[in-house]
Amino acid sequence: MGILGRNQMLALAVFKVLFSINTVHGIGANWGTQSSHPLPPPTVVKLLRDNGIQKVKLFDAESSVLRALSGSGIEVMVGIPNDMLFSLANSVDAAERWVEKNVSAYVSSNSVDIRYVAVGNEPFLRASNGTFIGTTFPALRNIQAALIKAGLGSRVRVTIPLNADVYQSSTENPSTGDFRPDIHDLMVQIVSFLSLNGGIFTVNIYPFISLYNDPSFPLDYAFFDGYSSPINDNGRIYTNVFDANFDTLVWALEKNGFGNLTIVVGEIGWPTDGDRNANIASAQRFNQGFMSHMNKGTPMRPVPMDVYLFSLIDEDAKSIQPGNFERHWGIFNYDGTPKYNLSLGSNNNELVPASNVQYLNRRWCVLSPSANPVDPQLGPSVSYACANSDCTSLGYGTSCSNLNAQGNASYAFNSYYQQKNQLDSTCQFPNLSVITTSDPSVGTCKFKIMIRTTNPGASGISPDPSFGLVQVLVFLLALLVVV
């Protein structure tokens, strides 16, 4: 600050622009498939390519997804879910079979450009209660050995996507960073193994969660456009929590002798709904700010970063245990339409929507205008609809917080009806629901029309037998109340 003159700053700026153009690492994205109605994999691959997304991170090794990526030129990180760690840790055979089936086969015959295997997903998260502490490292070793045996040792690298809670700092200064005490020695062993085998450190960093967990967290510190009370760590200036968090990891690695280990940001992003801080404007501010920022790097590593945005597309079947925002991380909606404008480097400012998406009919299920607002079945019916669909856009601070109680009921009924592919029997809440052809969306609150999926396994293609049963029970209960 103040050390460089104007010309030097200009020269530096020009240098940085040239530098970032020449060495841009290419943006990546996480492709999760926990959706009731996922877009067909070929549609998603085209979406990636149309938007210049060059790398994709998967959470498993689903064959339809890998087949669609064949010949696409997109770099792939395949994933091993946590529930497979135990068997892979305990059986060299299982690890060899996994590599044969889920890596070798695609690399050789289908020309899928698999570059990384992610062993587990945030296995040491505090919320996992240590469940995967004993199995993750042995599974990593077995997968690495299997890759070498398969002749892929130099082509495919191993990693473990870890949440940023595997390290911590004793003050706000990143330089006091080290690994979490309960897993410190394990982390050093893993880092040493990754370093020896050409592996990479993958970390997921979430400024949104900092804000979500701590109402007094300074809002501007979560973003990349300046903060009034920067942290000065022995001359290194931190104006955003991402840099401070990332450099805490750099210090933890350095302190333990692995200061040169490659770090990749496995997940970074901002949700658009389900919380008062989750909205389109904040997500755009964060992601666009990050897109410029990632080419600069952090004070400890001032070089362009390797990054996978979280996430590509909303997933309406994710657990909402972390919060209602969890189903809204996509830069694209469930149907592949962009939520906001975002420059990813190679595209213009506008994201390209998914092509040839097939929708169900323009029909919605809503609360009947003649419904009795104090009908005793209203509450239970809304609860049932929400429990079996997605109502995370309702409530304080969400996109549908403008609805009144009737609007809420309509939203719930429609959400259920669309989730069940507009089956007539799913808009038959007695005396309460009715089908309409006029769009009930109001302002920011969008009433979905579900997309058509050909996957016979997708939920609700066949009538939902439990619904009839619940209707009967509700009816019997109503009778009891009347009597």
Ligand X SMILES: *[C@@H]1O[C@H](CO)[C@@H](O)[C@H](O)[C@H]1NC(C)=O
Residues in touch with ligand X (CB under 6 A): 60-62, 97-98, 101-102, 127-129, 131, 260, 338, 340-341, 350, 377, 394-395, 404-405, 408, 430-431, 475, 478
Is 122 one of the annotated active-site residues of the chain? yes
* Shortest Å, Cβ 13 to ligand X: 25
- Strand ranges (E), 342-480: 364-367, 433-436
Q: How many CB atoms lie within 10 A of CB 319?
A: 8
Compute the distance between CA of residue 372 and CA of residue 358 in angstroms, rounded to an integer: 36
Proportion of the chain in helix, strand, coil states, percent, rounded to 5: 40, 15, 45
- Based on CB atoms, which residue is closest to ligand X, 220 or 431? 431
Compute the distance between CA of residue 308 and CA of residue 330 in angstroms, rounded to an integer: 12
- Based on CB atoms, which residue is closest to ligand X, 175 or 347? 347
- Based on CB atoms, which residue is closest to ligand X, 226 or 257? 257
**Catalytic one of 62, 75, 122, 172:** 122
> Over 86-129, what HEC string results?
HHHHHCHHHHHHHHHHHHHHHHHHCCCEEEEEEECCCCCCHHHC
* Shortest Å, Cβ 229 to ligand X: 33
* Shortest Å, Cβ 280 to ligand X: 8
Q: Which amino acid is at 399?
A: S
| Residue 56 in tokens | 């994709």
User: Which residues are registered as beta bridge partners of 203?
Assistant: 162, 265
* Shortest Å, Cβ 232 to ligand X: 26
Compute the distance between CA of residue 330 and CA of residue 315 in angstroms, rounded to an integer: 8
Q: How many CB atoms lie within 10 A of CB 369?
A: 8
Is 267 one of the annotated active-site residues of the chain? yes
3-state secondary structure of 253: helix
- Based on CB atoms, which residue is closest to ligand X, 154 or 349? 349
- Based on CB atoms, which residue is closest to ligand X, 191 or 394? 394
Output the DSSP codes for 155-217.
TSEEE-EEEGGGEEESSSSGGGEEE-GGGHHHHHHHHHHHHHTT--EEEE--HHHHHHH-TTS
* Shortest Å, Cβ 433 to ligand X: 12
* Shortest Å, Cβ 268 to ligand X: 21
- Based on CB atoms, which residue is closest to ligand X, 1 or 483? 483
- Based on CB atoms, which residue is closest to ligand X, 7 or 129? 129
**Catalytic one of 62, 75, 100, 267:** 267
5 Cβ contact list (under 8 Å, min separation 6): none
Q: Which residue is nearest to ligand X (CB)?
A: 60
Angle at 224 between CA 311 and CA 14, to 5 degrees: 105
Burial group, residue 423, by CB count within 10 angstroms (0-12, 13-18, 19+): middle
Quick one: how far is CA 359 from the chain centroid? 24
- Based on CB atoms, which residue is closest to ligand X, 51 or 408? 408
* Shortest Å, Cβ 61 to ligand X: 4
Compute the distance between CA of residue 345 and CA of residue 370 in angstroms, rounded to an integer: 52
* Shortest Å, Cβ 364 to ligand X: 17
> Over 188-199, what HEC string results?
HHHHHHHHHCCC
Residues labelled as active-site residues: 122, 267
